[in-house]
Amino acid sequence: WLRDWRLVAVDGFEADLPDSEANAAEFGYAGTGESRSAFPKARVVTLTECGTHALLAAEIGTYATSEKALAGKLYPRLRPDELLTADRNFYSWPAWESAAATGAALLWRAPTQLELPVVRVLADGTYLTMLSNPRTHKRERRDRVTAVARAGHAIHPSDGQWARVIEYDVPDRDGNGTGEIITLLTTILDPAHARPDELADAYHQRWEHETGNDQAKTHLRGPGRILRSRLPELAYQEIWAWLITHHAITTLITQAATAAELDPDRISYTQTLRLIRRTATGTATIPPSGLD
C-alpha cells in the first residue's frame, strides 16, 4: 500500500503452446523465417497486486496482439482505492484517459519522446504538466491548451489532463557515472498526498509483478515447459486454469501470512507449492462467486 492506495501493476508475458496447426493459426509465432520461434505463443497481460503477487485480472490474446491492446481491456477493472503502476511501454493518451476515468490513481513511467511542458513547479521539486490529446490537437492547439492551463482555466478531460511529474536518477551499477533518469507521471497532484520519494518507491514495487510472473512461469508451470493443449479453445481454458491456480496459491500464502502477522514476501512460494503438491489428494474448486 501507498497510504490509502493499494499498489497494483500491469504487465505481460508469453506462453509457449504445442506446435499444432490449430494453435499456429490462432496464436502465431514470434519472428519469421529462420528466426521464428519453435512454438506458437499466446500473450497474457495481467493486473497484479504488488504486495501479494495475486493476479487480479487478465486478458489472453494472440502473439500479434500487443500488450498495450490487452492492457486496455483491463483498465475498466480498476478501482478508486488502487494505484496502478506501469512501465513506459504502456503509455498512450487513450490508455491514460481510460485508466484515469476509473478514479484509480496512476503512476506510470513516461516514454522518452513524450513532451512534458512545465506548467508549474511545486515546492517539493516536482512539477505539473498538461497531457494533451494528440488525436484532436495539432502542435499549435496543444500549445494553446498548455497556455490555458498556465492561466488557470479549466480544461475538458478529452482535450487535456493534468499530471504531476517526478524525476529522479538511478545511480549506475558500473561506476561510470552514467546514471539513468527516471521520469514518472502521476494523477496524484498534491504533494501532501504523496511525497516524491514515496512515489519513486511505489514505482519500484512494480517489479513485484515480475516476481509473480516468475512464480507462474518457472515454478508453477515448470522451467522450459510448454502447455499441453493442441486446440486453441483448450489452450485458452488451460491458461485460465493456470492463472486461477496461481491466484489460489497466493491467496493461501496471504492468509497464512496474515495469521502469522508476516509480510507475504516472507513465505516461500516454492515451498508452499511443494507442500500443496505433497498434500493434495484430489481436485479442488474455487467458487466463482464473490471473486470480483
Q: How confident is the model at residue 178 (pLDDT cuts 50, 70, 90)?
A: low
CB-based contacts of 125, cutoff 8 Å, min separation 6: 196
For residue range 102-151, list pLDDT tens digits in order.
Answer: 999 999 999 988 888 888 899 999 999 988 888 765 666 667 667 777 77
> What are the cell numbers at 289?
462467486
- Asked if residue 291 belongs to a domain, the reply is no
CB-based contacts of 138, cutoff 8 Å, min separation 6: none
- Asked if residue 49 belongs to a domain, the reply is yes
Q: Alpha-carbon distance 282 to 14, whole Å?
A: 29
- Asked if residue 289 belongs to a domain, the reply is no
- Asked if residue 285 belongs to a domain, the reply is no
The secondary structure of residue 218, as a DSSP letter, is I
Q: How confident is the model at residue 220 (pLDDT cuts 50, 70, 90)?
A: confident
Please give the average per-residue pLDDT across 268-284, as a whole number.
81
Strand ranges (E), the chain: 6-16, 41-49, 55-62, 82-86, 105-109, 120-121, 127-132, 160-170, 180-186
Please name the residue that has the C-alpha cell 509457449. Answer: 16
- Asked if residue 284 belongs to a domain, the reply is no
Domain of 139? 6-279
For residue range 146-166, list pLDDT tens digits in order.
Answer: 777 777 777 777 778 899 999
- Asked if residue 290 belongs to a domain, the reply is no
Please name the residue that has the C-alpha cell 496459491. Answer: 249
**What φ, ψ does residue 285 adopt, rounded to 5°?**
-125, 155
pLDDT of residue 226: 87
> For the domain that residue 34 is a member of, what is the CATH number?
3.90.350
For residue range 62-74, list pLDDT tens digits in order.
Answer: 999 999 999 999 9
User: Quick one: which of 81, 132, 71 has its CA closest to 102?
Assistant: 81
User: Quick one: which of 209, 181, 177 has its CA closest to 109?
Assistant: 181
> What are the cell numbers at 94?
487513450
Number of compact structural domains in the chain: 1
CB atoms within 10 A of CB 270: 11
**How many residues are given for the chain?**
292
Q: Residues 56, 82: contact at Cβ < 8 Å?
A: no
- Asked if residue 286 belongs to a domain, the reply is no
Is 0.75 topped by the overall pTM? yes
The secondary structure of residue 276, as a DSSP letter, is H
